[in-house]
Amino acid sequence: MSVQTSSMIRLASIDDIPEGQGREFRVGDRFVAIFRHKGQFYAMEDVCPHAGLWHGWRFNLHDGVCANLPKAPAVPTYPVTVRGYDVYVTLPPTETGERNNGTGA
């Protein structure tokens, strides 16, 4: 039996994500959104936890809690590290136990 660990993946340059905006990246079978807000970078899984016709839900960048409906399931958030001009996200292993392979910028 092997133990799977999280992996830190470079997904972007700081210049790829303008202040007040976000960008989506595909990492294996997962979609990750990185946002830049007040000079800080945040990452969360780019999924919508609801079904139906409600769109435009807003999520807290720190903890993934939905501002529109706080009792709804939170969106997973991930640690972000900036090294120089590079933006890295630490992702847990996938459900299949495979390590993540970044395909970002």
Q: Is 101 domain-assigned? A: no
Residues of the domain holding 73: 7-85
For 23-46, letters b (16+ CB in 10 Å) and e give bebebbebebbbbbeeeebbbbbb
Total number of domains constituting the chain? 1
Q: Is 92 domain-assigned? A: no
* CA–CA dist 26, 85 (Å, integer): 20
CATH of the domain at 38: 2.102.10.10
Tokens of 30: 């997962």
pLDDT of 4: 54
pLDDT of 104: 47
* In the predicted structure, residue 105 carries a pLDDT above the cut 50: no
Q: Is 93 domain-assigned? A: no
Which strands, in side-by-side order, build the sheet including 40-45? 22-27, 30-37, 40-45, 77-78
- pLDDT tens by residue, 36-61: 999 999 999 987 766 555 567 888 99
Model confidence pTM above 0.85: no
Q: Is 98 domain-assigned? A: no
Q: Is 96 domain-assigned? A: no
